[in-house]
Chain A
Amino acid sequence: MTKKILLALTFMLGLASFNTQATEHYTIDTKGMHAFVTFKIKHLGFSWLEGRFNHFSGEFDFDETHPANNKVTFELEVNSLDSNHAERDKHLRSERFFDAKKFPIATFVSTQWVNSGQGKATLKGKFTLRGVTKNISIDVSQIGAGKDPWGGFRRGFEGTTTLHLSDYNMKEANILGPVAEDVQIWLSIEGVRK
């Protein structure tokens, strides 16, 4: 009996030390699509227009005890923009807005992770869209982590930030005017540990 408890304790300790020592490496689960990149912008100031990007990929490192080791890299295919209206998508991808042909990929590379307690953090990094790189800051909160039913380990976050349309050299951003200046981004990111 004592032996068994000892064994169990050693095992748990081992697991705990494994968890605290190593930085965990995750791939964002785009294979099973447990990740979403959505945006929301006001239409004429009357309502919200929602859309998302369907194709992206990314990785992140997560370290429970040394948050300085946390980092995120993310790539997004601009022409995967989807607002559930083909003609609008075409218009947005054109050179009048995203110019997806010339700037097919948007990227995010983190520079800093600051824990703010209770599973929340601020993630800072460089975001490049349409050839323009801006320092942005994303409010992150962990939703959960643990073993999945299929033998893997997963960790998931949500993130929000606000981008400004006028920052990215879009030809017609000014036509949409101040009501469409702020674009709210909502991210749901689930990583599968490598």
Chain B
Amino acid sequence: MSLLTQTGVNRVQLRNNSHRYGLLAIFLHWSMTILIIALFFLGEYMVDLDYYDSWYQAAPDLHRSFGVIAAILLILRLLWRLGNVQPAIIGKPWEQQAARWVHRLFYALIIAIVISGYFITTADGQGISVFNWFEIPASFQGFENQEDIAGEFHEWLTHILILLVGLHTLAALKHHFFNHDTTLSHMLGLSNPEQMEQEINQTTTYNHHNPKG
């Protein structure tokens, strides 16, 4: 029996609604999670390969290709976000505010990482081949030693991103196991609508008492 059809759990729909994320948002979240973590470790691994290693060419090829896929997913995600309601954020006002800023920080970091990665490879006018399937052309060769500067940014930003992923994960686990709320099940498409309703009501009460939050 599928978890999604258990009693008390409505079937998740494609689009978001004010209570829950839709299937597409959930898919985008988790596919990017897997990609970003894999890209991070692949990146760390590939820069230490020596010249005669059989992965010396394939690992960066994969890194660049999956990097472009991650960028495409991010664009889809931002567009989907624009064209969809966002489910209510549960928690105290400061928690809601923090949640909004962490989201923005995630997006900003990923965008900056994608751009800096693109700037490394294309610094001398070479395009980025994606799985030998299509090519992203080079468009910007703007500054001296662009590949080195962009490389430093790429490295720093990805380390910050992976730290943020860690914090995000800890926070989700904390919500699930300590607060016993639906934050994590929400993103797994498993949350119980009644419990969520309660949490949202609780949140509304907070907001009512603290209208500024």
Contacts and interface: CB of A to CB of B under 8 A. Distances in A.
Interface in A73-110: 79, 82, 84-87, 89-90, 93
Interface stretch (B20-28, B84-92, B121-129): B121-129
A87 B60 contact: yes
Contacts of A79: 145, 148
A89 B147 contact: yes
B51 A176 contact: yes
A172 B121 contact: no
A175 B122 contact: no
Contacts of B36: none
Interface residues of A, number: 12
A86 B143 CA distance: 12
Contacts of B146: 86
A172 B123 CA distance: 24
Contacts of B120: 86-87, 90
A175 B50 contact: yes
Interface in B105-146: 120-124, 126, 145-146
B178 interface: no
A85 B51 contact: no
B94 interface: no
Nearest to A93: B148
Contact of A87 (B52, B121, B145): B121
Contacts, number: 33
Nearest to B48: A96
B151 interface: yes
A89 B124 contact: yes
Interface in A141-187: 172, 175-176
Nearest to A54: B144
A86 B52 contact: no
Interface residues of B, number: 15
B124 A90 contact: no
Contacts of B151: 90
B148 A90 contact: yes
B78 to A, nearest CB: 28
Contact of B124 (A86, A93, A172, A176): A86
A85 B148 contact: no
B147 A86 contact: yes
B123 A86 contact: yes
A50 to B, nearest CB: 14
B51 A175 contact: yes
A93 B124 CA distance: 15
Given A79-B145, A90-B147, A93-B148, A85 B124 contact: yes
Contacts of B147: 86-87, 89-90
A175 B60 contact: no
A172 B124 CA distance: 24
Contacts of B60: 87
Contacts of B145: 79, 93
Contact of A84 (B50, B52, B124, B148): B124
Contacts of A87: 60, 120-121, 147
B121 to A, nearest CB: 6
Contact of A172 (B51, B126, B148): B51
Interface of A: 79, 82, 84-87, 89-90, 93, 172, 175-176
Given A84-B124, A87-B147, A89-B123, 17 more contacts: A79-B145, A79-B148, A82-B124, A85-B126, A86-B121, A86-B123, A86-B147, A87-B60, A87-B120, A89-B124, A89-B147, A90-B120, A90-B147, A93-B145, A172-B50, A175-B50, A175-B51
- CB-based closest 6 A-B pairs: A86-B123, A86-B147, A86-B124, A90-B147, A175-B50, A175-B51
